[in-house]
Amino acid sequence: MYKLFSNRLKFVIAVAMISLVTFSCSDFLQIEPTSQISDKTLWNSTDNADLFLNDIYSGLPGPFNTHDPKENWSDNSMSAHSWGFSTTTIAKAAYTSENAPNEWGHYSNIRKTNLFISKVNESSLSEDWKKQRLGEARFLRAYYYMLLWTHYGGVPIITDVLNQQEQGEEIFKARNTAEETYQFIVTELGEIVNNLPLEAEEGRVTRGSALTLKGWCELYWASPLYNENNEQSRWEEAASTYKRVMDLGVYELFPDYNGQFMEDNNFNSETIFAKTYVGGTGLGGSREGLQGVWKVDGNQYAWSGVDPTQELVDSYYMSNGLSIDHPESGYDPQNPYEDRSERFYQSIIYDGSEWLGHEIIMKQGVGSDNATDLGAVNEATNTGYYYRKGLHPEYAVNGPNQLSSANFIIFRYAEVLLGYAEAYNEAFGPDLSVYNAINQVRDRVNLPPLQNEMNREEMREAIHQERRVELALEGKRYFDLLRLKQAEEKLNGHLHAMVIEQENGSWIYNVVPATDGSVTFHPEKNYVFPIPQNAMDRNQKLEQNPGY
């Protein structure tokens, strides 16, 4: 089967052709091509037009080539670097319109989709090809708008091709409301669903992709952040959309929880939509060398960019399916890593774990490079943990090596099942379909099923914990904290670490505040980010988010 971006020559041609269709760097809204020759060339064949669309796909953001991904914005993990952006700025809520994460650049890809849609609609290319590719483009535009919406709330909705030379100041638009932005996204997705195939070339948008993105936006809109009155109809809409994905009959849970993230299993039965990487080409992933274990046997293998917190570790179940704070769980705080659930062992490297054929030791006083570093002296873990999930030992080469071809999975079927369970439970309470959805996820990792005796509140808590554990280290947690209005509780205070010290001949496990683990969240303003100042300066019609 054809694999998007697998042909390196084709991708290079795509980038070269896109470079001919020059866009103004000074204004994200001015998108008229400056070369009429390249413009004519681009739209005279499906192959050429595909190159342009592939370039829009390539703009999808992914976390595999950064040492400080968005997971570190949450209570799941933190950077080992005291100078990391997540440590100095996000965790301290020290961001302003000048230094906040700038997602406004997604308008660059939105402008490309607008141009693609306009030119393809005008072209004489085959109608079947146009129908599918226009659906893909509109999905990508909706996805980029979703990123803007979840970061900023309402943003200007722009669907036409703007040219400042011809239109002057008319190209600048005021912000639409958060509700208008949401309605635009879900309406677009609803209109294109049936124009997309159930299955497509690997890496391309499918019907399931569109429905899953729609379900995610509906879940976000139904959650407490935007649903202060807890309107049941919003939860019903999200549950209905997720159920449509389930009823497609295309997806199923991949048998190997951790194996699904490896490149040998790209586009497996669970993957709904993913960003592709191609190792060894300058377009590969580097998470093993940027985010993994710092040193092994005295040699540096990574930058230790993602250190799981004690808060995340404590959220993993025991093998009997009970939370560690349950009186019958069997959890021993002085033997905390024994008899934990499968996902814990597949996701977390803890004291005594093996990596690259060596035992990783976090104990104090034994001369280990990886002893928990409460002084932020070096790149050893600040929490007593590294992460394992999705890391391939073969690519544990220090730094931005770009060796891996593993996908970054944006949406997968487990998230659909948990999204359905959450939305249906909030709308109607926990019926058999809710138990079935969450128990599928638990069964895959050999956890016993939840028993049909929970009320809505108990099921809500179980779903939230299941979602945190299942999707840990996949970049989902921070936005779950936002939509659930839990950020003010979870991101104020201190994140924690495990320190193991010897006392009277015995090793004692102590949970302590992690170095640089203090976190701050201002609920009056931090549920959205500030509009970047450079965007405000260009467009006088923009209004800043409150508090910034």
The Cα 436–Cα 426 span in angstroms is 16
Q: Which residues pair with 412 in a beta bridge?
A: 271
Q: Among all chains, which residue has been given the structure tokens 């002296």?
A: 377
pLDDT, one tens digit for every residue, the chain (548 residues):
334 444 433 443 344 344 334 333 334 444 444 444 366 678 989 999 999 999 999 999 999 999 999 999 999 999 999 999 999 999 999 999 999 999 999 999 999 999 999 999 999 999 999 999 999 999 999 999 999 999 999 999 999 987 767 777 777 899 999 999 999 999 999 999 999 999 999 999 999 999 999 999 999 999 999 999 999 999 999 999 999 999 999 999 999 999 999 999 999 999 999 999 999 898 999 999 999 999 999 999 999 999 999 999 999 999 999 999 999 999 999 999 999 999 999 999 999 999 999 999 999 999 999 999 998 788 999 999 999 999 999 999 999 999 999 999 999 999 999 999 999 999 999 999 999 999 999 999 999 999 989 999 999 999 999 999 999 999 999 999 999 999 999 999 999 999 999 999 999 999 999 988 899 999 999 999 999 999 999 999 999 999 99
**Residue ranges of domains in the chain:** 8-279+529-538
Q: Which residues pair with 162 in a beta bridge?
A: 30
Which pLDDT belongs to residue 2?
38
**488-517: pLDDT as tens digits:** 999 999 999 999 999 999 999 999 999 888
The Cα 309–Cα 347 span in angstroms is 12
The Cα 382–Cα 514 span in angstroms is 6
Is the distance from CB of 54 to CB of 4 less than 8 angstroms? yes
Instruction: Report the C-alpha dihedral over residues 22, 145, 13, 273, rounded to 10 degrees.
Output: 180
**49-86: pLDDT as tens digits:** 999 999 999 999 999 999 999 999 999 999 999 999 99
Per-residue tokens: 524: 């009056």
The Cα 291–Cα 482 span in angstroms is 24
Per-residue tokens: 225: 């952040």
Largest CA distance in the chain: 82
Is the distance from CB of 293 to CB of 355 less than 8 angstroms? yes
Which pLDDT belongs to residue 38?
61
Which pLDDT belongs to residue 80?
93
User: Closest Cα to residue 294, out of 383, 393, 399, 380?
Assistant: 380
Which pLDDT belongs to residue 1?
39
Q: Residue 409 phi/psi, 5° resolution? A: -80, 115
β-strands 493-503, 506-519: how paired?
antiparallel
Beta-strand ranges (E) seen in 314-416 are 348-349, 354-355, 358-359, 386-387, 408-412
User: Nearest-5° angle of CA 495, CA 497, CA 503?
Assistant: 145
Q: CA 506 from chain center: how many Å?
A: 41
Which pLDDT belongs to residue 541?
96
Is the distance from CB of 301 to CB of 293 less than 8 angstroms? yes
Q: Among all chains, which residue has been given the structure tokens 């079927």?
A: 413
Which pLDDT belongs to residue 16?
37
CATH fold for the domain made of 8-279+529-538: 1.25.40
The Cα 307–Cα 543 span in angstroms is 37
User: Closest Cα to residue 490, out of 344, 318, 312?
Assistant: 312
Is the distance from CB of 109 to CB of 59 less than 8 angstroms? yes
What is the residue type of 546?
A: P
User: Closest Cα to residue 247, out of 48, 507, 437?
Assistant: 437
Q: Among all chains, which residue has been given the structure tokens 């560690």?
A: 324
The Cα 247–Cα 259 span in angstroms is 25
The Cα 47–Cα 44 span in angstroms is 9
Instruction: Report the C-alpha dihedral over residues 399, 472, 341, 300, rounded to 10 degrees.
Output: 10
**237-253: pLDDT as tens digits:** 999 999 999 999 999 99
Helix, strand, coil in percent for the chain, rounding step 5: 40, 10, 45
Alpha helix segments (H runs only) across 124-196? 127-152, 164-167, 178-192
